[in-house]
Amino acid sequence: MVNSKPNYITIAHVGIMDMSSVSLGMNKNHYSNAGIKTNGTFSVNIPSVKMVKETDYCGLFSGKVKNKTVLFKTFFGKLKTAPMIEECPVNMECELIKTVDFPTHDVFVGKVAATYCDECVLTDGEVDFGKVQPILFVMNDRSYYKLGEKFSKAWDVGKELR
Amino acid sequence: MVNSKPNYITIAHVGIMDMSSVSLGMNKNHYSNAGIKTNGTFSVNIPSVKMVKETDYCGLFSGKVKNKTVLFKTFFGKLKTAPMIEECPVNMECELIKTVDFPTHDVFVGKVAATYCDECVLTDGEVDFGKVQPILFVMNDRSYYKLGEKFSKAWDVGKELR
């Protein structure tokens, strides 16, 4: 929420800190940073490949000049001030727990308060990324990639080298 | 380097902070944390799908009980104390610039000092992730996925919605 209006931004510089918190590395010039500081909340919304135009648009144009509220159906969760996107198959609302200062970037660290998913992307009650069809971003060739096939079991295939 | 020996660990909790720095979220129990603190350096080594057994092995077994040096050909770069993996198509050596404390995790933030790549993964002088064939990890179903097809241009396809 920036100036009492939902705003959405495409972020490449993301991270996982530990089992319950995530980070967003955001250039200090961005319109959204003030909203995160004011509310102490933000959301992480994972778009699917069919939302690539809207996702790219949110990275091309700033909330200073475009009203990005109109792109999506917005909903709120228990934190009340972190708008989320109904069309996204996975949405996480986060409480800001740390801000780490970098020369040109604010790194916002949020603890995930709740996750909201479309039932269509669940398999046995867990989010199935094969069904989410997330957009993967590569900076080098400025391209979006799809997730490929599942090819091996983690914490398992390496036992063969024991 | 831990106790003067190269050690390798598979990390799921990674992040990008800004244009030049990356993070590793590492449980405080891990054997490698002391080495990063002592040397003030670490490396990030991106394995390809054909290295999935070695990669999984490095996540299954601790350096406390297994000598993981023998799995790879090690090389050093300009920082001298951050061992890297010859078999990995992309290796980054990093200088530790911040450690952010979380209840169970040390989050180590490193500034990339140099990147070393196999020439086979370059296209027009840039790392081409289609050629790298990185291993993508999904925690939910404990699986490794391949990178899929490139399907759209970033900072471009969204202009259609203008």
Which whole number is the average pLDDT over A128-133?
A: 98
Pairs across A and B, CB distance < 8 A:
212
Q: Give the pLDDT of residue A7.
A: 96
The model scores a pTM over 0.90? yes
Contacts of A151 in chain B (CB under 8 A): 49, 52, 144-146
- Residues pairing with A92 in the sheet: A44, A115
User: How many CA atoms does the CB half-sphere of B146 hold within 13 Å?
Assistant: 13
State the nearest Cα–Cα gap between B81 and chain A, in angstroms.
Answer: 24
Distance from C-alpha of A28 to C-alpha of B24, rounded to nearest angstrom: 23
Q: Which pLDDT belongs to residue A105?
A: 98
Q: Once rounded to an integer, what is the mean pLDDT over residues A25-34?
A: 96
d(CA B6, CA B41): 12
Most B-contacting residue of A129, A132, A137 (CB-CB within 10 A), to test interface: A129
> B25 vs A24, A35, A41, B93, B143, CA distance in Å?
14, 26, 22, 17, 20
Enumerate helices (H) and strands (E) in chain B, giving the number of each. Answer: 3, 11
Contact A140 B127 (CB under 8 A): yes
Position A79 scores a pLDDT of 98
Using CA atoms, how far apart are residues B37 and B46, in angstroms rounded to an integer? 22
Q: Which of B71, B102, B158 faces A17 most closely, judged by CB atoms?
A: B102
Determine the pLDDT at residue B99: 98
Q: What is the pLDDT of residues A99-127, one digit of tens each?
A: 999 999 999 999 999 999 999 999 999 99
CB contact under 8 A, B149 and A146: yes
Nearest to B154 among A98, A144, A150 (CB): A144
pLDDT single digits (tens) B85-140:
999 999 999 999 999 999 999 999 999 999 999 999 999 999 999 999 999 999 99
Comparing alpha-carbon positions, the chain A residue that sits nearest to B12 is A16
ipTM: 0.95
Output the pLDDT for position B128: 97
Give the gap in angstroms from C-alpha A26 to the nearest C-alpha of chain B. 8
CB contact under 8 A, B129 and A140: yes
pLDDT, tens only, B5-60: 999 999 999 999 999 999 999 999 999 999 999 999 999 999 999 999 999 999 99
Q: Taking CA A89 as the corner, what is the angle to CA A87 and CA A95, rounded to the nearest 5 degrees? A: 95
Angstrom distance (rounded) from CA B97 to CA A8 = 30
What confidence score (pLDDT) does residue A21 get?
98
The confidence score (pLDDT) of residue A146 equals 98
Task: Assess contact for A25 and B18: CB atoms under 8 A.
Answer: yes
Contact B49 A25 (CB under 8 A): no
Select the residue from B11, B18, B128 to test the A interface by mutation, using most A Cβ atoms within 10 A: B18
Interface probe with B: pick from A27, A29, A52, most Cβ of B within 10 Å: A52
* % of chain B at pLDDT higher than 70: 100
pLDDT at A31 (0 to 100): 94
Query: Is the Cβ pair B158, A57 closer than 8 Å?
Result: yes
pLDDT at residue A42 in the model: 98
Cβ of B49 within 8 Å of Cβ of A151? The answer is yes
d(CA A152, CA A154): 7
Integer Cα distance of A137 and B148 in angstroms: 11
